[in-house]
Each structure stands twice: as C-alpha cells, then as structure tokens.
Chains A and B, each alone.
Chain A
Amino acid sequence: MPARPRRVASAVSALTPALARTARGLAVLLVVSVFTFLLTVLAPGDPAEEILRRGGTQPTPGSVARLRAELGLDAPLPVRYLRWLGDVLRGDLGDSYADRAPVAAEIVSRVPATLWLAALASVIAVTLAVVVAVRTVLRPHALDGRIALTLIVAAGAVPPYIVGVLLISVVAVGLGTLPTGGAGSPVAVVLPAFTLGLAGAATLLRLLRADLVSATRQPFVVLARAKGVSTARVVAVHALRAAAPAAIATASVVAAELLAGAVVVETLFSWPGLGQYAVSAIRQRDLPVVQAYVLLTAAGTALLLTLADVCAAWADPRIRGSGT
C-alpha cells in the first residue's frame, strides 16, 4: 500500500473511535435534554402562579393567565420542547422567570466561581486521599495515619452542610481566622473548598487505599520487593501506578459529586457559583434556570467521564491497547 493512503487510513482509524464517542455523547445529551425538559415542566404546580406569588401575595386568575401566555406555557409540550431546544442550540437558555434576566449570561458569570471552588476542593480531596492512603499502607500501625484516616472517613459520613456549619462555627466564628462566607475576600473560598474537599476525600481515600493494598499483593509488586526495592518506592511508584486507573475512574465520579455537592455548600457559604443559582431557582420554580443547570451538569458529567477514560488509558497501557 502506498504511504499516503496508509497514512489517511491510519488517521481515519484513529479518528473513528473519537467520532463514535462524540456521537454517543451527543445522543446522550439529546436524551438528557428530553428528560430535563419533561422533568421540569411536568413537575406539579403552576409556575406562573408561583412566580406571581413571590412576596406572599395571591395573584388574580387574570394575571396568572396573562403571564402563562407571556411565558409560552400554554403551548403544547412538543412545541415548547422544540422551541426550547432550538434556543439552547443557539446558546439562548431563556430568561429567568424570577427576574427576567438572561440565564446564559448569569451562568457564564457564575461558572468561574464554581470551577475555582471545585478545582480547589479536588486538589484538597486528592491530596488528602493520596497522602493518607500511601501513609496508611506504608505504615499501617502509625497513629497519625490512622487518626487522619478516621477523621476523613468520619467527615465523609457527615452531610457536607453539617461539616460546613461546624467549620464556620469553629474556624470563622470561634477562631475568627476565615470569613464565614461570601466572595468578598480571596480566602473566602478556603472553608467551602475544605467542606467540599473532605466529602470527596473520604470516597477517594476508601477506594484508593483498598486498591493500594490489593496492588501491593500483585506478582510484579512482590517481584519488585524481592529484588530489594524499598517498600516506600514499591507503594508510591509501582502499586500506586497499578491502582491509578481505578482511582482515576473514581476521581471522575468524585468530581461529579463535587459539582453536585457544590449546590449545598455554595448556598451555605453564599458562594456566587452555579449551585447557589440552582438552589435559588429551585426554590422559586424558576424553570429556565433549573433546565439550564441540569443540562449543563449532565454535559459536564459526560465530559468528565470521557476525560477519565482518556486519563485511564494513559495510565494503563492495557486499556489504551483495547481501543475502547
């Protein structure tokens, strides 16, 4: 075969899985969009009345009817879905029912805050999980490792809201060293990131530690030990590398959990991210905002899982070779 067609064939064969994966992702998003739309519009209650009832007043039937018409809530469901999908594809996520402000612009302004919080929480979660997992596998009987392990697992068992309230009470009110919330100070992110990171660390730590223990019993690790490689090196390099693919898969799930957990944590700490926006929208039945949030969260989760696939393939040659 001539060199050029071979190169083209090679490029096509390399692109095919990527295209298939993209097509699969788009199909998933389409299904998600249908479910998102249906779940929000079929929820009981009349959004028009609830919007007009904000502030505790009881609207007249005429006002409710006019607002329903203005918001397009009278149209048949398929028409409403297609209108909504068409707008979404054009980047228009609609206007908030609550304050009539464009949802897309508000989301764009809030994404950096959520990403910054999630990134910092991820760093905290991964750092705590890796350090404590390696420490407890290296020195199973060391007191510091066992205390850290117990504390992190215990913190992971408590809802993030409670952990957050405790951190606010002790660190912000008791010690007065960090702000209770808001985004007015560069360090305001520390407490919400710790709250969120602790929850992620617990999940990650449990799995990583189990994988590490299992990996230390693998034949190649036993061989490495037999060849005189130090325990620390065996655990930190060989076993950790073997445990990495599973940990990466878990990390992607944990990252998705962090985005979900941000809903509670952002509200508690008045952090100006997507989670706070979503909670406020859910309370007010602000459907355009809820729909946009669910859609974005689904898209973000799908992206994270794809990234996890790529990272796992990089870490484990067996996966890379399978071409899946």
Chain B
Amino acid sequence: MVMRHTYGRREVLTRLAAATALTVLTASVAACADGAGTGGSPTARLTLAAPRDLAAGPRDPYFVHQSLGVWEPLVALDERLRPVPALATGWTSAEQGRKWTFRLREDVVFSDGSPLTAQAAVTSIQRLRAIAPRQSAYFSLDEGMEAAYGELTRLDAEENAVVFTLAEPVADLPAKLAGFFSMIQAPSAFTTGGDFAGDPVGTGPYTLASWTKGQRLELRANPRYRGPRPAYATVEVRTIPDANARVAALRAGEVDGLFDKGALLPGQVTAVAADPRYRVVQTPSALTHYLTFNSSRPPFSDPRLREAADLAIDRAGIARTLLAGTAAPGGAFLSPAFGDLAAPGITARHDPARARELVAAAGAPAEPVTILISSAETGQFPYTDIAEVLRAAFEDAGLPARVEVTEATKTAMEAGRYDVFLSAYSVPNGDPDYLFRRFLRSDAAWNVERRLGYRDTTFDGLIDRAAATGDAARRRELYHEAQRLLAADRPMTPLAYQANPVVTRAGVRGLTQTASYLVDLGRLEPAG
C-alpha cells in the first residue's frame, strides 16, 4: 500500500492554526488600543486597585468605604489613632462623661444640595443604632452600638450640635465614635427600613458615580465639596482580589496605584519599593499579630512555660525576614499606632538560653504543643512560615511543637484543642478599651469561650477605671499599668505590629495613609 499525503487536508489544518493565531493577534492589537484609551489625561482621571470591594451596596450600613471620600464622619482619626475633628469642629463633655456635645461645621452641604444640620446628623446616627446589629463588609454594628458608645439614653439635635446622653460615663467618646461609627449621610439617602434608597449622599470630596459589584466603581469630584477641588475629576477603583494580579496590573500600567488593607503583601513590597517607577508608602497601622496562649490547660497554664515560649521567639527576625520589613517586633500590648497610650519600655526579649532554663525547671511537656493558624489568614500573611519558625524556636527551647492549619479555628479553640493561636487584630475606632474589653477582661467572650483562662481582677479594675476616667493623663497611666500586667502574665502577646504598604506610580503624589488604612483620595495629584 502506498501512503499518500493529501496536502489539501494539511492546508486546512495549517489554516486553522493560522486563524487561531490571527484571532489572538487581533485580540492583542485591540487590547493595545483599549489600554491606550483607559489611561486618559492624568490630571482628569486616576485608576486605582484595591483587594476588596470598596462599595458594599445599598444593604450595607455604610454603602461605601470611608477611604473613598464619599462620606465623612463626625470624628476622624489621625496617624496615631487620636480623634480629630471632621464634620464636628470640636466636642465637650459634662456630667463626668455622661453627656457629650459635638459642635458641627457650618459650611457643609451634602452632595444632593441639602445642608448639614444637627437634625440630619442625628437622623444618620439614629439610623445606625436602629439597624444594629448589622453585618458589614467593613465594621459590623454591635447590638446597641456597644463598641461606639455603650448605652445611649438620649440623642438630641441642639443648635448646630449633636448631644449624646449616656447611661454610664464614657472617658473618650470621640475616640469610640471616630470613623465608621459616626458616619453622616443625608436623610434622603435612607429608606424608612434603614437601607439605602439609592446612591450614598455624603459630604466628602467625591460622589459615587457608578458601581459594578465586585468589579469596579467610579468616583466623580463632588462640586458641592467645601474644600479644595480634587486634582483628579474622576477616580476609578478596580477590585482585584488576587495579590499577584494586583501587582501585575500595576506593572502593566493598567492602574496608577494600589491601596486599602492588604494592597501589597509583605512578600511583594521589596521588589515594588526598589523600582523607581513606584512610590511605596508604609505607615504603621493598628493591625497587630498576636499570639494567644491557652492557659486553661497544661503546658501553658504554667506561667514559666509561657515565658519560655515568649523568650524563644526571635520577633525581630520574623519582622525583618518573613514579614519583609513591613512589621515591627511586638512589645507592649497596644501597638505604637496608639501613640502615648502604648506602654513605653516594654520590649519582648529574645533569650533562647533563658527559655531553655525555664523549660528545664518547669519540665517539658510529653505531647507537642499545638500552634494553631487559620487557613483564611495564610493568604495575606506568611503565617505558615511564621508558624514553622515558631515551632523550630519552641523545639530549640525544649518545647516539642506542631503546627495545625485549619479553617475552623473557633471550633478548635472552643474545644481547647490548641496551645498557641496566631492571628491579627485591629480596632474599629480609636479606642483601646475595645481590645482589652473584648479580648482579655475576665468576662470577655474571647477569653472565656476560647479558653484563654486569664482571670485577673486587678486587670479588670484597671480597664474599668480607664474606660470611665475623663482625665487623659490618668487614663494613660491606667492603660500603661494594664499593659505591664499583660507583659508579665502573657495571656496574649504581640508578635509584630503590622504596617500596611500602599503604592502609586511615581507620577502621582500626595499618597498618605492613616493607621486605619484610610487614604485621602482628594489629596492625590499628578507629580510635577
């Protein structure tokens, strides 16, 4: 039999391959054209990317994140988590902290043209209270807005002022309210049920022009904004959840910057920061990596072994290498982002020799200790690597250890199936009372349900007194004392204080960030 080649068939196959290649080529050319079109005039349009959707929609308590500059709160936070005026020009307290009066700015108009009045502000705050508890993509609302102001007995609109009357004295209501919990939007923004009637109506430098869930949103400069007009008339924010894809979009020139919590992962910062085409801003945040000890069972019910584990850890090494310099070694319970409320002089020593002595004196456990991490957090931070380093450090000190990664950390902890838990926590406002009261007070849900086993009436008394003390200096002293107690007892010890790196192209300037990851979009402008 003679094998013959039919060139016609081969030609068909060749043409098919050519057609496929041509399709890709055409698509590529079209993409080039498209890419050229998306840039636009830099003075008019800015394109940024964020890891999460910064518009959560009409059923969210806030609709959009504070970072977008669509709405403003009564009180904001500065870079040291101190309350500073926003829509309120100032505040006074009376009746030992039971009555707080916030005076409002007089030159403020909502984006729908209606003026900011005391009644409008009261309506906005009452609405948050009415819908609580309510989940949010950002900061969920507690039942009764407990984290914001405890028990509120009256909320009144007086002449250009909002007056809070509380059942119990509150030492620093501005810090508790700061940010999301004192968001003010126009009454016209809401339905009677508390959802949004349409778009958000705020007082910030931008308005929400369009929004596609999970994809992108577009902001337009608010013509009624009282301050200087933003340099960029339009800001597009794309949602890119994947960290590699986010940086690829930056490198491909599709976006002018990355912002929001977790914009750049620790492992990405060094390479991006070394590239002169980009400006990386790395400011301290309130986010802290904590090690929570299960002190309700051996071995860490023995304080000597908690101390041994603590001394075995090379925090500086972890911060420098695994967290790529995006974090500082932990010391005091409150991060430096809390300014002078963080207790000075508390540093966590790295002393493996002393750790070995302590383990020898207390006796090494027969079973390995379990270092628990959540699979949900391994994507953002190198927790698997950190846990392995902790395991090696513990074993070096004579504490056999193993690492467990699970999704259901709550179940494992409530069942007491852990010895150390690594996780990161922050605060929803500027009040450190939140961390002490929610995590470590003897009756705190975290302490009781997660079996921390920490019961200290002295600590509880310090926290309660600080929360009710109006004298700022005395309050600071009480918090310092509480942190010294925690440093000695170690129910929960800070591993590292995490910064939040954000980046723009070198052609954009004015990038700043608060300790709550807020970027002021209104201050961004073209360089040169």
Which residues of A come within 8 Å of B, CB atoms? Answer: 43-46, 49-63, 66-67, 97-101, 106, 127, 131, 134-135, 138, 165, 168-169, 171-173, 175-188, 190, 225-226, 228, 230-233, 236, 267-270, 272, 276-277, 279-280, 283
Contact = CB atoms under 8 A, between A and B. Distances in A.
Contact of B216 (A44, A169, A178, A184): A184
Given A176-B35, A180-B254, A54 B13 contact: no
Nearest to A235: B9
B109 to A, nearest CB: 29
A99 B410 contact: no
Nearest to B180: A55
Given A59-B140, A99-B56, A180-B249, A45 B410 contact: yes
A307 B139 CA distance: 47
Contacts of A270: 215, 238-242, 245
A180 B135 contact: no
A81 B320 CA distance: 50
A56 B10 contact: no
B216 A57 contact: no
Contact of A187 (B30, B136, B438): B30
A269 to B, nearest CB: 7
B4 interface: yes
B385 interface: no
A268 B242 contact: yes
B213 interface: yes
A236 B48 CA distance: 51
B527 interface: no
A45 B407 contact: yes
A180 B248 contact: yes
Contacts of A49: 410
Contact of B428 (A55, A127, A228, A276): A55
A185 B248 contact: no
Contact of A54 (B137, B213, B445): B137
Interface in B7-59: 9-10, 13, 16-17, 20, 24, 27-32, 34-35, 38, 56-57, 59
B4 to A, nearest CB: 5
A171 B29 CA distance: 12
5 contacts: A60-B146, A63-B132, A181-B242, A187-B27, A268-B245
Nearest to A179: B31
Contacts of A43: 407-408
Contacts of B446: 58
B34 A187 contact: yes
A231 B135 contact: no
Contacts of B147: 57
Nearest to B240: A270
B56 to A, nearest CB: 6
Interface string B219-250: 00000000000000000001111101100110
B133 A236 contact: no
B105 interface: no
Contact of B238 (A165, A182, A185): A182
A138 B9 CA distance: 11
B129 to A, nearest CB: 13
A188 B238 CA distance: 14
A121 B120 CA distance: 53
A268 B244 contact: yes
Contacts of B34: 179, 184-187
B216 A55 contact: no
Interface string B242-279: 10110011011110000000000000000000000000
A282 to B, nearest CB: 9
A105 to B, nearest CB: 10
Given A58-B445, A182-B215, A67 B133 contact: yes
Contacts of A230: 4-6, 9
A229 to B, nearest CB: 9
B35 A58 contact: no
Contacts of B434: 57
Nearest to B445: A61
Contact of B59 (A62, A101, A165): A101
A53 B410 CA distance: 12
